């Protein structure tokens, strides 16, 4: 009971503020159509699987040794991969990686947050951010987004000036809304944060960056202009490698060096490094379906609008739609039909990840039935 959870004699001796909290995570249910955690629906080809297996077998022979603590080969390969999204050079010393971009961003908070410091974002946004703050004893401050989920730059500037954050976290495209940040917004935020007491860093979380619509540049292009800009990426989404747990960032080398102080030694296993390097060799294949998924995303948004629903503009591999008086009932009725989506975002909204054409057809059929039932 909550009484027991808050009793001073509670066991185990968990930090007060953590008592009674549920661990973060969506339900992992074994249903035919899983469109709830923004995964890539396509697995790697047999050739890619074989290459990964060979790389892991090679790494296995020296698992008695600790892995390369500085993962230099992987950093260089990731820098090479990022070069496709910016005309400027990215050096291996500007790249850092960890077990998923969640760990990358937690490390950023460990290095740049902490007691007496503030981390800031604009809601609705990725719900892990307040957890990084909580876990590093950083104060969490949240501004708001406009009705269309874009950022009001005057509000953003005012809030940064008022609260002097040492870390600003902003996904672009935003989760769960799909909203991308225009480059002017990144520039304004970086300039404003740089003026704050400690010269705060701005983390543009591009977990879904590869899915952005044409014409939206990556924040990577702005790195040479702002030494406080950090661009976070992941191999979990466009790269179809969520199971391998590899996230990374590009930033000034001084920022990477600062993270090295807080990272655990050998945090990236030899197996993880081998898998990531092999996968990067297959980048064209793994990323090959991104265009297909973007087209499927645009078609899904149009179809949902055609049903009379409100849908947020999306630059990601998911769409946020609504609004429903009882979103839980809609979620449950879809699940009853074998389609798992996510109950997330502001009240009344639901989020669907973009799957294969067949999965999206099943989703449309199921939602059509549910909407007919609702009416
Ligand atoms: N950032 C955003 C905005 C996300 O939605 C996610 C995953 N849902 C992540 C970061 C973390 O992904 P990973 O740890 O798999 O890189």
Q: 360 phi and psi, to 5 degrees?
A: -70, -30
Tokens at 351, concatenated:
């989020």
Structure tokens belonging to residue 249: 């960032």
pLDDT band, residue 62 (cuts 50/70/90): very high
Q: What is the extent of the structural domain holding 355?
A: 26-42+289-374
pLDDT tens for each residue of 140-164: 999 999 999 999 999 999 999 999 9
pLDDT of the residue at 201:
98
pLDDT digits (tens, 9 = 90+) for 67-84: 999 999 999 999 999 999
Ligand 1 atom at minimum distance from 171 CA:
3
Mean pLDDT value across residues 24-37: 92
If asked whether residues 276 and 303 sit together in one domain, one would say no
CA of 236 to the centre of ligand 1 (A): 8
Contact 38 CB / ligand 1 (< 6 Å): yes
Where b means 16+ CB within 10 Å and e means fewer, 187-201 reads: bbbbebbbebeeebb
* Residues 70 and 134 grouped into a single domain: yes
Which atom from ligand 1 is nearest to the alpha carbon of 246?
16
Centroid of ligand 1 to alpha carbon of 291 (angstroms): 20
134 and 96 in a common domain = yes
Distance CA 27, CA 11 (A): 27
Q: Give the 3-state DSSP-derived string for 133-158, with helices as H, strands as E and coil as C.
A: HHHCCCEEEEEECCCCCCCCHHHHHH
Q: What is the tally of structural domains in the chain?
A: 2
171 C-beta closer than 6 A to ligand 1: yes
pLDDT of residue 1: 45
ipTM for this prediction: 0.99
Output the CA 5–ligand 1 centroid distance in Å.
Answer: 30
Measure 372 CA to ligand 1 centroid, in angstroms: 34
The confidence band for 25, taking pLDDT boundaries of 50, 70 and 90, is confident
The rounded mean pLDDT for the chain is 95
Residue 301 lies in a domain: yes
Residue range 316-345, pLDDT digits in tens: 999 999 999 999 999 999 999 999 999 999
- Residue 9 covered by a domain: no
Q: Is the CB of 100 under 6 A from ligand 1?
A: yes
Euclidean distance between CA atoms 143 and 231, whole angstroms = 21
**Residue 14 within a domain:** no
For the stretch 244-285, pLDDT in tens is 999 999 999 999 999 999 999 999 999 999 999 999 999 999
Mutate to test the pocket of ligand 1, among 175, 207, 267, 344 (most ligand atoms within 8 A of CB): 207
pLDDT grade for 6, boundaries at 50, 70 and 90:
low
Ligand 1 centroid – CA 105 distance (Å): 10
Cβ atoms < 10 Å from Cβ of 218: 23
Q: Is the pLDDT of residue 102 over 80?
A: yes
């Amino acid at each position: 009971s909550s009484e027991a959870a808050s009793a001073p004699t509670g066991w185990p001796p968990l930090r007060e503020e953590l008592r009674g909290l549920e661990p973060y995570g969506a339900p992992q249910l074994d249903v035919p159509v899983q469109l709830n955690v923004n995964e890539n629906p396509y697995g790697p080809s047999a050739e890619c699987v074989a290459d990964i297996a060979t790389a892991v077998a090679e790494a296995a022979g020296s698992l008695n040794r600790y892995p390369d603590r500085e993962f230099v080969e992987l950093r260089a390969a990731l820098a090479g991969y990022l070069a496709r999204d910016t005309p400027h050079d990215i050096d291996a010393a500007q790249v850092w990686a960890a077990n998923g971009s969640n760990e990358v961003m937690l490390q950023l908070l460990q290095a740049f947050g902490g007691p007496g410091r503030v981390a800031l974002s604009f809601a609705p946004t990725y719900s892990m951010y307040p957890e990084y703050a909580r876990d590093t004893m950083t104060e969490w401050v949240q501004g708001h987004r406009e009705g269309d989920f874009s950022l009001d730059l005057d509000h953003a500037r005012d809030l940064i000036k008022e609260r002097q954050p040492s870390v600003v976290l902003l996904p672009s495209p935003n989760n769960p809304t799909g909203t991308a940040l225009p480059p002017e917004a990144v520039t304004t935020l970086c300039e404003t944060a740089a003026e704050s007491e400690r010269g705060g860093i701005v983390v543009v979380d591009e977990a879904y960056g590869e899915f952005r619509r044409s014409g939206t540049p990556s924040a990577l292009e702005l790195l040479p202009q702002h030494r406080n800009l950090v661009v976070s990426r992941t191999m979990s989404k466009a790269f179809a490698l969520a199971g391998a747990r590899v996230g990374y960032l590009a930033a000034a080398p001084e920022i990477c060096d600062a993270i090295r102080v807080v990272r655990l030694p050998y945090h990236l296993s030899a197996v993880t490094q081998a898998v990531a390097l092999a996968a990067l060799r297959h980048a064209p294949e793994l990323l090959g379906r991104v265009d297909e998924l973007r087209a499927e995303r645009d078609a899904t948004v149009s179809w949902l609008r055609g049903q009379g629903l409100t849908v947020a503009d999306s630059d990601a591999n998911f769409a946020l739609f609504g609004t429903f008086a009882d979103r839980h009932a809609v979620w449950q009725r879809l699940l009853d039909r074998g389609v798992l989506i996510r109950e997330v975002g502001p009240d009344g909204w639901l989020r669907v990840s973009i799957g294969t054409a067949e999965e999206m057809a099943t989703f449309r059929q199921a939602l059509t039935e549910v909407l007919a039932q609702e009416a």
